[in-house]
Chain A
Amino acid sequence: MDSLLGSNPTLASNPAYSFSKAPYNSAADNKEHAFYPYTDNGGSTLGITGEDFCIIAGDTRSTSGYSINTRYSPKVFRIGGDDETGEGAHIILSVVGFAADGTALKERLNAIVKMYKYQHGKKISVKACAQRLATILYGKRFFPYYVTAILGGLDEDGKGALYSYDPVGSYEREQCRAAGAAASLIMPFLDNQVNYKNQYLPGTGEGHDLEPRQALPLPRHDVEQLVRDAFTSATERHIEVGDGLQMLVMTKNGIEELYHPLKRD
């Protein structure tokens, strides 16, 4: 050992290195905080479909930390319509998470849906648009758009269609989905009130023999009320949700926009 390391005066009693420093432990020594390209702008979104319509809603608060950036920053957008008014759009997209990525994603999908129409002379189907959105998201698999997207519209049969995504593009068609900061508060409510989870028909049996209540597509009025209830409750329990509720309702007659104030505290 001495013959190998003893000639290094500073390290005579310790294992020696012939180079200047001990191994560099980046986790312990690196105090400089590198630039982090993401942030969370809070808020929540929610989509529910019915027999012949699709509703996507989102609160309009934008936050950074405990501060409110603005009380009106919409998270739900018309895709494939007029630049200013959104006229003629047939698809709805909501994005929640990192707002700058959300805007970038919305603008990309919007451009693609328009190019599709110019090139093929027909509007893109919701099914095709949903697949395309997944491809866009997966295309940035190693530097993702940090957003949870929900896409909605009417399918080939005129039925309400809703697709939900994760940030890297895995997607699924569903009846209802909540996303964003208060997703964990809203989703169980939806499971129970839209899909009638844990609801059983009284008097149909004992214990596990009870018959579950069958879920049916809900009428539009009921769905709108459910959305308002979901958001007023989420506003009570989550600090990043509030200010306003924006709802886009897609029917065969086009897209309607509704706005309801929420608590601003």
Chain B
Amino acid sequence: MNHLPQAWGRPRDDVYGPYDASYLQSGHPQTHTKSPIVTGTSVLAVKFQDGVVIAADNLASYGSLARFTDVKRLRPFNSKCIVGFGGDVSDMQYLDRLLNSLDVVENYSSEGHSLNAKNLHTYLSKVMYKRRSEINPLWNQMLVAGLDGDDKPFLSSIDLLGTTFSSPTLATGFGAHLAQPLLRKVADDESKVAGVTKERAIEAVKECMKVLFYRDARSLDRYSIAIITKEGGVELKEDEQLEGQSWAFAETIRGYGRTQEV
């Protein structure tokens, strides 16, 4: 036997000629890509005295390419709740179908009683935790906004690991770094929520969408925004344009490829 273990068990070249390697599979096993492909960026939401405001832009990126510019990432579930999706868009569409079928089943089986935002959040967190436990995650982070069983404002987050948390203001993705500190100025504590008006909450969210468009390279100036209240149900606007942009600050930027004097 020769001294190359790699050749053991293979036909000898001197007897049979060079082995036709095309019959062999490549050296390593076929692996499944476990990363998102077409992605959505931040989702923002703030609770106010009688509801929740939630927003996300209409962009689906393919890496750094702005691939689809009219993707609706806020999905209303019923008159009490809405889900905002960040992360993989195809997984979002799967979850959307899943929620659709859940809604159909619920509408047939329950008389007048509908699932609230808290129920929906529990359902989604179980789906996400089960999938992560199978090591086959749905690559999303979601915000569930709406009203709970007592018609109080409800806002909570779920991610691909099944981690859940709730806060008066929430932001996913880049927004967790850029928008969350700004939103916390509006309501940094559950006790402050009662003092936040609808107008204040909308203004804060719109301001943050602007900041994100300035600094997040995977963002867009067209966005969706929804307001959920007991009186108005889910008021969803899906084709809003970012207002009051000012790029004056761009003049002051030095570095990043700009020379010192232009």
Q: Residues of A at under 8 Å CB distance from B?
A: 3-9, 15-24, 26, 29-30, 32-35, 37-39, 41, 62, 64, 67, 69-73, 98-100, 103-104, 143, 264
A22 CA / B27 CA spacing, docked (Å): 8
Name the residue among A4, A35, A72 with the largest chain B CB count within 10 angstroms. Answer: A35
Please state if A17 and B6 are interface contacts (CB–CB under 8 Å): yes
Asked if A20 and B26 make an inter-chain contact with CB atoms under 8 angstroms apart, the answer reads yes
Contacts of A18 in B (CB 8 A): 7, 10-11, 13, 18-19, 21
The reply to whether A99 and B165 contact each other, CB–CB distance below 8 Å, is yes
Contact of B177 among A9, A38, A67 (CB under 8 A): A67
Kindly list chain B residues whose C-beta atoms are within 8 Å of the C-beta of A39.
161, 163
Given contacts A38-B161, A70-B165, contact A8 B13 (CB under 8 A): yes
**Are B164 and A100 interface neighbours, CB within 8 A?**
yes
In the complex, what residues of A have CB within 8 A of residue B21's CB? 18-20
Partner of B167, one of A7, A26, A70: A70
Q: Determine whether the beta carbon of B12 is less than 8 Å from that of A23.
A: no
**Are B167 and A24 neighbours in the complex by a CB distance under 8 Å?**
no
Pick out which of these stretches binds chain A: B65-73, B130-138, B236-244. Answer: B130-138
* Distance of B87 from chain A, by nearest CB (Å): 13
Chain A minimum-CB-distance residue to B160: A35
Contact, CB under 8 Å: B164 / A4: no
Given that A35-B137, A67-B176, A72-B190 are contacting pairs, would A8 and B27 also be in contact in the complex, using a CB cutoff of 8 Å?
no
8 tightest A-B CB contacts, nearest first: A20-B21, A18-B19, A24-B27, A100-B162, A70-B167, A21-B27, A18-B10, A35-B34
Contact A37 B11 (CB under 8 A): no
Chain B 1-40, CB-CB to A under 8 Å as 1, else 0, gives: 0101011001111100111011010111001011100000
Do the beta carbons of A35 and B135 come within 8 Å of each other? Answer: yes
Q: With A7-B13, A37-B161 given, can you name 12 additional A-B contacts, CB distance below 8 Å?
A: A4-B14, A22-B27, A24-B28, A29-B28, A35-B135, A37-B132, A64-B163, A67-B176, A69-B157, A70-B167, A98-B161, A99-B165
Inter-subunit contact B161/A100 (CB<8 Å): yes
Chain A residue with Cβ nearest B129: A100
